[in-house]
Amino acid sequence: MKIALVTDTHFGARSDSLPFDNFFNKFYTEVFFPYLDKNKITTVIHLGDVFDRRKYINYNTLKNCREYFFNKLKQRNITTHLIVGNHDTYFKNTNDVNSLHLLLAEYPNITAYSDPYEIKFEDCRILLMPWICSDNYTICMNSLKDTKAKIVFGHFEIAGFQMYKGQVNEHGLGKDIFKKFDKVYSGHFHTKSTDDNITYLGTPYEITWADYNDPRGFHVFDTDTGDIEFIENPNIIFTKYYYDEDKEDPNLVDTSIFENKHIKLIVVNKKDFVKFDQFVEKLYSKNPLELKIIEDMSEFETEATEDVNLEDTMTLLSSYVDNLETDADKNRLKTLLKSLYVEAQEYEDV
């Protein structure tokens, strides 16, 4: 039997942004449900953080996600199991008040779980584990200890896993708690990662710049093998372009790929100011959701610091490369370092 797994849908993300809501809709309309229809999948398990806001719901967000997600599940008579995540609970110390029970009770095909619960599909026994808080900690730990299930689906905060690509979480549960299980699949962290028997599934789509260039999608679980298959979402909303006139004529760039996107234009090498302005105008003609131009200003920094005999970062990097004993192309190396330096200045914006 095949079961679709999805997690951290975060309906209402980015302050109930309409462009992001449309972006989410595109995933379900063009990727998720067509796959379920084609492969005759009739069961879905959601591993938590269905909604984004813990305290309230935006009416328009609720209307839209009902139309493109919950109603489509009901229309197809797809049995749906929802695990309560930390974004689905009103209080931080208990799961008793949660958006899933309050907003989705009218759907007969949907069951939400705020406490540990075992389900069985043929010979496959699975423990469903919601967000662990102070109120349910004892019952959750006992369930993990006593269950006969070899597979767990949960919404865990486990130390040692990446929250986003390159950002490791140092707090939470220890991995040793789960060593008795064959497979542990979890929501909560937004990037896909696996360590031994534990796998974080990641979000189905990009939500912030931290998700850039990090594969997104959903998974299909095989109850016979306990393994999952990743179905990638081809749609992106964040994109970057490195402007370098020595590498590419900006007049020849197909700017249609930037339409309705969040764009970071990282200026590495700009010689012709008119050509650059024309390129920026072309980008604006594609109705970007945001266009952020990241440009190195080190030549001005140098002028400002001449009196105190300081060197700006790029000058130091260039001097370092010049003094290297290497057969590598030093100009190419300088360009690479410059592009990394320029982008690094914006790292905190991720």
Q: What percent of the chain has pLDDT over 70?
A: 91
What per-residue string of b and e applies to 40-68 under the rule 16 or more CB within 10 Å gives b? ebbbbbbbbbbbbbbeebbeebbebbbeb
The band of 266, judged by pLDDT with boundaries at 50, 70 and 90, is very high
Note the pTM of the prediction, 2 decimals: 0.84
User: What is the residue extent of each domain of the chain?
Assistant: 2-232, 238-295, 299-350
DSSP state, residue 285 = T
pLDDT tens digit sequence for 84-110? 999 999 999 999 999 999 999 999 999
Of 64-68, 115-119, 168-172, least confident by mean pLDDT is 168-172
pLDDT recorded at residue 60: 98
The band of 202, judged by pLDDT with boundaries at 50, 70 and 90, is very high
Task: Answer whether residue 302 shows pLDDT above 50.
Answer: no
The DSSP string of 298-325 is HHHHHHHTGGGT---HHHHHHHHHHT--
Domain 2-232 class in CATH: alpha beta
Amino acid, single-letter form, for residue 311: E
The DSSP string of 101-118 is HHHSTT-TTEEEESS-EE
pLDDT tens digit sequence for 37-81? 999 999 999 999 999 999 999 999 999 999 999 999 999 999 999
